[in-house]
Amino acid sequence: MNMVRLDSPPELAMPIGEAMFSQRATRRLDPDRPLSDAQLQIILNAASKAPNGGNAQPARYLVIRDSDAICEFGKLYFEAWWAKRRDAYGWTSKADIPENSVYRLPALLADEMINAPTIILVYSEQSGVAASSTFPGVQNLLLAARALGIGSVLTTLHPQVMDRVNAMFEVPEEMEFHCCIPIGYPRGTFGPTSRLPTSATTSWDRWGQPPPW
Ligand SMILES: Cc1cc2nc3c(=O)[nH]c(=O)nc-3n(C[C@H](O)[C@H](O)[C@H](O)COP(=O)(O)O)c2cc1C
Gap between the Cα atoms of 114 and 121, Å rounded: 14
Nearest CA to ligand 1 atom 3: 155
pLDDT at 192: 87
pLDDT at 94: 93
Q: How far is the CA of 208 from the centre of ligand 1 (A)?
A: 28
- Atom nearest to 106 CA in ligand 1: 11
Nearest CA to ligand 1 atom 1: 155
Averaged pLDDT for residues 131-145: 97
Q: 21-45 pLDDT, tens per residue?
A: 999 999 999 999 999 999 999 999 9
pLDDT at 131: 95
At residue 199, the 3 state secondary structure works out as helix
Nearest CA to ligand 1 atom 22: 25
Q: How confident is the model at residue 126 (pLDDT cuts 50, 70, 90)?
A: confident
Cα 199 from chain centroid (whole Å): 27
Residue from 28, 155, 156, 157 to probe ligand 1 pocket by mutation (most atoms less than 8 Å from CB) = 155
Q: How far is the CA of 153 from the centre of ligand 1 (A)?
A: 6
Other CB atoms within a 10 A radius of the CB of residue 173 amount to 6
* Cβ < 6 A, ligand 1 pocket: 24-25, 27, 81, 105-106, 109, 153-156, 193
Nearest CA to ligand 1 atom 13: 155
Gap between the Cα atoms of 201 and 211, Å rounded: 9
Q: What is the mean pLDDT of the chain?
A: 95
Gap between the Cα atoms of 187 and 108, Å rounded: 13
Q: How far is the CA of 184 from the centre of ligand 1 (A)?
A: 16
CB 57 within 8 A of CB 145: no
Q: 99-124 pLDDT, tens per residue?
A: 999 999 999 999 999 999 999 999 99
Q: How confident is the model at residue 163 (pLDDT cuts 50, 70, 90)?
A: very high
Domains of the chain, earliest start first: 24-186 (3.40.109.10)
CB 199 within 8 A of CB 213: yes
Q: How far is the CA of 212 from the centre of ligand 1 (A)?
A: 30
Task: Tell me the percentage of the chain whose pLDDT exceeds 70.
Answer: 100
- Atom nearest to 25 CA in ligand 1: 26
Q: 54-98 pLDDT, tens per residue?
A: 999 999 999 999 999 999 999 999 999 999 999 999 999 999 999
Q: How confident is the model at residue 210 (pLDDT cuts 50, 70, 90)?
A: very high
Q: How confident is the model at residue 1 (pLDDT cuts 50, 70, 90)?
A: confident
Kindly tell me if the per-residue pLDDT of 184 is higher than 80: yes
pLDDT at 188: 86
pLDDT at 2: 85
